[in-house]
Structure 1
Amino acid sequence: MFNVPAIFGSMVFNDHVMKERLPKDTYKALKKTIEERKYLDETLADVVAGAMKDWAIEKGATHFTHWFQPMTGITAEKHDSFISPVGDGTIIMEFSGKELIKGEPDASSFPSGGLRATFEARGYTAWDPTSYAFIKEKTLCIPTAFCSYSGEALDKKTPLLRSIDAISTQAVRILRLFGNTEVVRVNTTVGPEQEYFLVDKALHDKREDLVYCGRTLFGAKPPKGQELEDHYFGAIKPRITAYMQELNEELWKLGVLSKTEHNEVAPAQHELAPIFTNTNTGTDHNQLVMEMMKKVAMRHGLVCLLHEKPFAGVNGSGKHNNWSMSTDAGANLLEPGDSPLENAQFLLFLVAVIKAVDKYQDLLRVSVASAGNDHRLGANEAPPAIVSVFLGEELTGIIEAIENGTAYNKKDRERMTIGVDVLPPFPKDTTDRNRTSPFAFTGNKFEFRMVGSSFSIADPNMILNTIVADVLSEFADKLEKSKDFTADLNAIIKKTIQEHKRIIFNGNNYSEDWVKEAESRGLLNMKSTVDALPCLISEKNVKLFDKFGVLTPVEVHSRYDIMLENYCKVLSIEALTMVDIAKKQILPAAVEYMNDLSKTAAQKKSTFPSITCKLEEQLLTKISALSGLLYQKTETLESDLLKCKTFGDTKGEAEFYRDVIFVDMQELRAVADEMEALVGKKYWPFPTYGELLFNV
């Protein structure tokens, strides 16, 4: 049994370690540099680097790396050892301030959306001192931003940091108007709940689709799925418990605030939730969570699946992005207090978020767009592709009263009695939970539930920060010129509610009625990634990012190109994998089974001429027909894949993948899944859904 307080953060060069290891003057100077967001002096960096190296070596580290987040959605690292030759055949261990501050990875080998050509290889990584360095597998990892030789952001961290500065600046302007002169900075906070599947590695490795694509491309529904709702919050199996224990230990060493773990709705599905932290750190930590989930799983003979829809017919996996705003003194700006109606500051921030979500619902949809998440959104297990806001009964009542200029009859906080004498009554929350809502207020934060499980949370939070900064800026511009602050404040709140109440919906987002109602309200319903992505480069949105210095127009267009290209690549890999499996595994298995059936029928006839072979004949007829159809569907998919190469533009190619290739894939799968139900188990070439979902 390990001592959690003793190991927590033991592999992190955090503030506690810096205070112990750095000279007082250096520590104070570094803290000031971080707080004021200034460039780190190289002399100061040398001292910090020396202390960091000594600490890392004591912990067993031999290498260092600039740990960055390119636009692949995962992290990247290039390791360099601390060794430096002396000249007499020996070495010393060195690490300079220059090496700490800057690195030079190859920028042309990462997605750049045209920002870098193959011959333009130079790129830079720059230390982000606001995120602590840490040791992972004997390597000192230094969180960094990643940019091109000409200065464009090539990563997800840089725009996120810019957006954090943008919303802080605008939120502080608002707080000044309410007389708060002490707050220097407002931080956004995040707590991403991570859903994932665990499957047995031996079974996983027998499935080409899981190996190449991270999801099953074929698979008939098993006799039992999630119908009994017995897996959700159920007793955790010993093998999974052992995995979770080791995962927690590894995460705690890295300073990740891993808090909650439980079984999720689908068989073999689970969830991990951390305690809130600032958005930059939370984003770094979530990348570590996903990486460690996979690595620890391997040590337990398991594979962690982070795809949004690994299995058809059961719930997919999301990442609930719990987002809020807090001052540097720790005050939550989305905390309603005892009387939300009288808390004007809270109401202003609340309606700012409501307006931002309505005005930029297209961008929020873009932030969760991917080929994988298209399978999940709207599948009666996750929010639909329609963005809406859930507020709950009390807050909705308050804003309706404000809109209509009527009194709000505030109820005393209701106390619930359970009806069992030994259990005391407890206060009822002022709002229920709505797990079908894409963007739900949950007491003192908003839960953005559309984010896919494999996503970096950098993009959704970068967009959230930027769109709210835009609305806060608009409010501040008006109120700073006000001659009657209270009257103008009330007018802004009322007008914002009137103009943007269409985005508020407290009902069942899964229902078909809501789809129709949303359309009548004028809300967007972009069902696929290809539908959503053009919104990113609309004039309105390009101007937004440029206004706050979050993304330049060139950087916005590069991200559009990368996302569109990635969609095509994912569908291409999946389609080619389907063709491979159909031709090399499913069809040969069917032929072998039919061959044995024929032999059996022939042997029966030769031994007992009068005996019936109706069973074999019917099976042979059905499987033969399906085999022919499977071959035909495979040929169609192959033929259509060749057409993808003929498009001169990526958008046209992406639309073809959506409208033709994806349909071909569905039709091919339907035939194969029907065959799976007929072909003998020992002949079927890979593990079934039942084996994968219930054999962990």
Structure 2
Amino acid sequence: MSDCFLPTTEVFGSNVFNDSCMRERLPKNIYKAFRRTIENREPLAHEVADVIANAMKDWAIEKGATHFCHWFQPMTGLTAEKHDSFISPTSEGKVLMEFSGKELTKGEPDASSFPSGGLRATFEARGYTAWDCTSPVFVKEDGKNITLHIPSAFCSYNGDALDKKTPLLRSMDSLDKQGMRVLRALGNTTSNHVEATLGPEQEYFLIDKEYFEKRLDLVLAKRTLFGAPSPRGQEMDDHYFGTLHERVASFMHEVNTELWKLGVSAKTQHNEVSPAQYEIAPVFTTVNVATDHNQLTMEVLEQVALRHDFVCLLNEKPFAGVNGSGKHVNWSACTDDGINLLEPGTTPHDNMVFLLFLSAVIRGVDKYAKLMRASVANTGNEHRLGANEAPPAIVSIFLGDQLMDIFEQLANGGAKSSKQGGNLKLGASTLPNLPKDCTDRNRTSPFAFTGNKFEFRMPGSTQSSAGPAYVINTIVADVLAEFAEELEASDDMEKTLEEILARVAKDHKHVIFNGDNYTDDWVKEAEKRGLPNMPSTVEAFKSIPDKEHVELFERQKVLTERELHARTEILLEAYGHEKAIEAKSMVNMAKRQIMPAAVEYAERLASSINAVTSAGVTSTSQKKMLEKFCSLIDALDDSTAKLEVAVAEAAQIEDIPEKAEYYRDKVVAAMTAVRSVADEIETVVDAKIWPLPTYAEMLFLK
């Protein structure tokens, strides 16, 4: 029976070597030893790893797997995998199927072929992958190829982190340590660990594969570099939550099935604001597993789309003039015994644990706002942030009416009450009274409290959630460490708590903003408040190795100064590479597709004028049309030539930050000039000879 027709309860997790599978297949003593490793954050013993590896191999082979791979997340932002088969030749000319604990726990991919920011030279090739046993192993089907995937960290021969998972795991340890210090100081003796939880909402576009293959910009740059606006966009507000197109619904059904088999708890799906845009969101889980699951989600979206003759576009801004795609990172912290530390309860004003952890988040976000901004910077997001569709590049916090009231009470000497939501009456006898939340939601805020978690709305759709997550983990852990020192030294706990809460409320009230973040007035107000505004991706990246950031990451043992500088170089270099690809693709399309179509149209106009004139008729309008159109051709030729010069000049710059700045300031401006005239040409040229699928076709035809 096809997986599509099996009960969801049977499909879910069927390709995951999860806890129930381990309990069933492992000897009791081995299973208990593995659980101790997870629960006590201890290294895995070699003899335990050998037994687990053998059980994994048997399970994977039963699923049809012939290979295994360490699945890791290098600084490319994508995932990587090197496949090895289970076969081991024998002297009789046959093979055995073997898999050892060493192969499970350690791999050796080539570290020099991935971005390293100077941590590795080309001739220094050795790198290591290490099994992250906190994230479940799974079997993945890629066509007829079935492989056992082992979630792993990736480091250099010298132990430097070359991936996004290693700092995430380190930040989880830091948050656990500092969070538990605070809880113990407050008298909690039952919880053993503090863990961050995550629920990344993934937005994406679907367009017909036929159109995608005709657009070199989409194939190479993952976004449209040309395209006149469609006569219809998103102004009718009719796509958001609209009825699913049958073809899209079939695609979503298969996506869900594939994700459920991998243990990804895909929960929500719907049409998004822009035409051809959609969203999928999971149930919350621990930050590490959630990050792995989101990487799988992006991979599955792209793979399944092709089976339905779609292409899934994950770029933050694939189409100008309509909303781009984000990845809202919903972050919270909880204990191993089920306490959500950001759950306000019915009387949040006297919930000291909640108020203290809330204050830690507020102080951390305000203190390290530049780092928060840098964690969501990339070339695509530069087009999205601040475009009246996503939060601006200014980091602020939305608390809502209830918590804002409590925050103000704390600043004035202590909170004594909490606003309540009450009931909402809809005025129809058949409709029930609805319990009303204590505060509204603010979709314009970059960092909004939404009931028992914070929604970080700035991350871009292509980004790994690991970066924003480990930044939040680290800054919150650092502030919790400050609080813990005060609480542990206190002789009067109640007084110390009041002092901490009052201090945070007074010192950080300027970062709280409950209004409309899209307005120009807020930009001006934020400047008055002293909040940093970094619309430029390059500017954001250059702030990463600031002294206070280096000290923060080293203090919490998440990244060394060496690793932080390497990441900055990697990101700036990637920015330059991406802009170069875009610019070169634009030149190619302008010269080989748009210019020939424009010239052909001009020739047709000229022939038409000659024919009319030969007939003895005046062709004044046609002549004006031809003159104006020829001036557009000249402008396209001129602007394209200038773009070529700018790209050539950028290629001569060796200094990575200087090159990134040149692309931002000179190349992007030249690209804008080419697009402006090309898009105007599109509105004039005969549709029959225009070489590129239009916005209207890509966004509205399925």
Name the structure 1 match of 2:46: 42
Are the counterparts in 2 of residues 619 and 678 from structure 1 also a CA contact under 8 Å? no
CA distance in 2: counterparts of 1:159 and 1:615, whole angstroms? 66
The residue identity in structure 2 corresponding to 1:418 is L
Shift of 1:656: 1.0
Q: 1:61 aligns with which of 59, 65, 77?
A: 65
Q: What is the identity percentage for the equivalent residue pairs of Structure 1 and Structure 2?
A: 58
Task: Show the 5 A alignment for 1:224-263.
Answer: 224-263=232-271
The residue identity in structure 1 corresponding to 2:488 is E
Name the structure 1 match of 2:281: 273
- Deviations 1:523-578, CA, capped at 9 Å, x for gaps: 00001111111221011100111111100110000000000101111111101111
Task: Show the 5 A alignment for 1:666-685.
Answer: 666-685=672-691
- Structure 2, unaligned runs of 5 or more: none
CA distance in 2: counterparts of 1:653 and 1:310, whole angstroms? 24
| SS of residue paired to 1:77 | strand
CA distance in 2: counterparts of 1:505 and 1:576, whole angstroms? 42
Question: 1:410–1:153: structure 2 CA closer, same or farther, 3 Å change rule?
Answer: closer
1:396 aligns with 2:404: yes
Shift of 1:407: 6.3
- Deviations 1:211-231, CA, capped at 9 Å, x for gaps: 001100000001100000000
1:628 aligns with 2:634: yes
Name the structure 2 match of 1:132: 136
1:221 aligns with 2:229: yes
Q: 1:173 aligns with which of 168, 177, 181?
A: 181
The residue identity in structure 2 corresponding to 1:172 is M
- Deviations 1:435-489, CA, capped at 9 Å, x for gaps: 0000000000000000000000000000000000000000001110001110011
Q: More displaced, 490-499 or 404-413? A: 404-413
Shift of 1:60: 0.8
Shift of 1:150: 0.7
Name the structure 2 match of 1:653: 659
Name the structure 1 match of 2:110: 106
The residue identity in structure 2 corresponding to 1:327 is T
Q: How many residues align?
A: 694
Are the counterparts in 2 of residues 593 and 680 from structure 1 also a CA contact under 8 Å? yes
Are the counterparts in 1 of residues 69 and 83 from structure 2 also a CA contact under 8 Å? yes
Task: Show the 5 A alignment for 1:466-481.
Answer: 466-481=474-489
Name the structure 2 match of 1:19: 23
The residue identity in structure 2 corresponding to 1:244 is M
CA distance in 2: counterparts of 1:176 and 1:498, whole angstroms? 26
Are the counterparts in 2 of residues 308 and 453 from structure 1 also a CA contact under 8 Å? yes
Q: More displaced, 464-473 or 404-413? A: 404-413
| SS of residue paired to 2:356 | helix
Name the structure 2 match of 1:662: 668
What TM-score comes out, normalization by structure 2 length?
A: 0.98
| SS of residue paired to 2:543 | helix
- Deviations 1:602-633, CA, capped at 9 Å, x for gaps: 22333x22x23334323211211001001100
Shift of 1:402: 1.5
1:356 aligns with 2:360: no
1:92 aligns with 2:96: yes
CA distance in 2: counterparts of 1:558 and 1:412, whole angstroms? 49
Are the counterparts in 2 of residues 633 and 667 from structure 1 also a CA contact under 8 Å? yes
Name the structure 1 match of 2:77: 73
The residue identity in structure 1 corresponding to 2:631 is A
Q: More displaced, 64-73 or 27-36? A: 27-36
Q: 2:548 aligns with which of 532, 540, 548?
A: 540
- Deviations 1:223-259, CA, capped at 9 Å, x for gaps: 1000000000000100100000000000000000100
| SS of residue paired to 2:533 | coil
Q: 1:445 aligns with which of 433, 453, 459?
A: 453
The residue identity in structure 2 corresponding to 1:676 is E
The residue identity in structure 1 corresponding to 2:508 is H
Are the counterparts in 2 of residues 397 and 408 from structure 1 also a CA contact under 8 Å? no
| SS of residue paired to 2:270 | strand
Shift of 1:44: 1.2
| SS of residue paired to 2:315 | coil
Question: 1:530–1:134: structure 2 CA closer, same or farther, 3 Å change rule?
Answer: same
Name the structure 1 match of 2:648: 642
The residue identity in structure 1 corresponding to 2:644 is E
| SS of residue paired to 1:303 | strand
1:585 aligns with 2:589: no
Question: 1:632–1:426: structure 2 CA closer, same or farther, 3 Å change rule?
Answer: same
Q: More displaced, 398-407 or 535-544? A: 398-407
- Deviations 1:153-200, CA, capped at 9 Å, x for gaps: 111000000000000110111111121111111110000000000000
Are the counterparts in 1 of residues 128 and 155 from structure 2 also a CA contact under 8 Å? yes
Name the structure 2 match of 1:528: 536
Shift of 1:598: 1.6
Shift of 1:652: 1.1
Name the structure 2 match of 1:206: 214
The residue identity in structure 2 corresponding to 1:62 is T
Shift of 1:34: 1.8
CA distance in 1: counterparts of 2:162 and 2:41, whole angstroms? 20
Question: 1:462–1:453: structure 2 CA closer, same or farther, 3 Å change rule?
Answer: same
1:5 aligns with 2:9: yes
Name the structure 2 match of 1:504: 512
- Deviations 1:412-438, CA, capped at 9 Å, x for gaps: 441100111101101110111000000
Q: 1:405 aligns with which of 404, 413, 416?
A: 413
Q: 1:185 aligns with which of 173, 189, 193?
A: 193
The residue identity in structure 2 corresponding to 1:332 is N
| SS of residue paired to 2:190 | coil
CA distance in 1: counterparts of 2:544 and 2:646, whole angstroms? 29
| SS of residue paired to 1:536 | coil
CA distance in 2: counterparts of 1:548 and 1:603, whole angstroms? 79
1:562 aligns with 2:570: yes
CA distance in 2: counterparts of 1:558 and 1:169, whole angstroms? 27
- Deviations 1:340-373, CA, capped at 9 Å, x for gaps: 0011111111111000000000100000011110
Question: 1:406–1:135: structure 2 CA closer, same or farther, 3 Å change rule?
Answer: closer
Shift of 1:599: 1.8
Shift of 1:91: 1.1
Question: 1:407–1:301: structure 2 CA closer, same or farther, 3 Å change rule?
Answer: closer
| SS of residue paired to 2:34 | helix
Name the structure 2 match of 1:298: 306
Are the counterparts in 2 of residues 564 and 651 from structure 1 also a CA contact under 8 Å? yes
Question: 1:61–1:416: structure 2 CA closer, same or farther, 3 Å change rule?
Answer: same
Question: 1:685–1:399: structure 2 CA closer, same or farther, 3 Å change rule?
Answer: same
- Deviations 1:53-99, CA, capped at 9 Å, x for gaps: 00000011111000000000010001111111112221111111111
- Deviations 1:110-137, CA, capped at 9 Å, x for gaps: 0000001000000000111100000012
Are the counterparts in 1 of residues 414 and 498 from structure 2 also a CA contact under 8 Å? no
| SS of residue paired to 1:543 | helix
Are the counterparts in 1 of residues 402 and 419 from structure 2 also a CA contact under 8 Å? no
Task: Show the 5 A alignment for 1:276-287.
Answer: 276-287=284-295
CA distance in 2: counterparts of 1:181 and 1:612, whole angstroms? 95
Are the counterparts in 1 of residues 65 and 139 from structure 2 also a CA contact under 8 Å? yes
Name the structure 2 match of 1:117: 121
- Structure 1, unaligned runs of 5 or more: none
1:161 aligns with 2:165: no
Shift of 1:409: 5.2
- Deviations 1:488-510, CA, capped at 9 Å, x for gaps: 11011001110011100000000
Q: 1:617 aligns with which of 597, 616, 623?
A: 623
Are the counterparts in 2 of residues 503 and 523 from structure 1 also a CA contact under 8 Å? yes
The residue identity in structure 1 corresponding to 2:398 is F
